[in-house]
Amino acid sequence: MLRSVKAKYVKYSVCECGFPALAVSTPMGKLYTAYPDQVGIFKMICGGCRRSLTLKFITVDDGQKPLGMLPLEIFELDEGLAA
């Protein structure tokens, strides 16, 4: 069985320029389900300044649909609370 934990959206941006990692309408503190055994390192281009970033990404979903992989550093994972 795939291990899952709650993940709280806690960081707006992963880039120094401040460009948002998620849609601006996504409320800070929103809870997701994250799968900590599905983490990978990927390169992405910032949508604001076009800087190349190498980050850890984690698979997440919002309970309604799979969202795919998002930057791990925008979340606070609750390892003690299974989803």
Residue 81 has pLDDT above 60, yes or no: no
Structural domain tally of the chain? Answer: 1
Domain assignment of residue 59, given as a range? 5-82
- What DSSP line would sit under 1-23, residue for residue? ----EEEEE--SBSSTT--BSS-
pLDDT of residue 80: 56
The whole-angstrom separation of Cα 33 and Cα 14 is: 20
Query: Could you read off the pLDDT of 32-69 as tens digits, one per residue?
Result: 999 999 999 999 999 999 999 999 999 999 888 777 89
Distances (CA, A) of 59 to 6, 34, 62, 68: 12, 6, 11, 5
Of 36, 29, 27, 28, the C-alpha closest to 5 is 36
Query: When comparing pLDDT for 4 and 79, which is higher?
Result: 4
Question: What average pLDDT does this structure show over 19-23?
Answer: 94
Report the share of the chain in percent with pLDDT over 70.
94
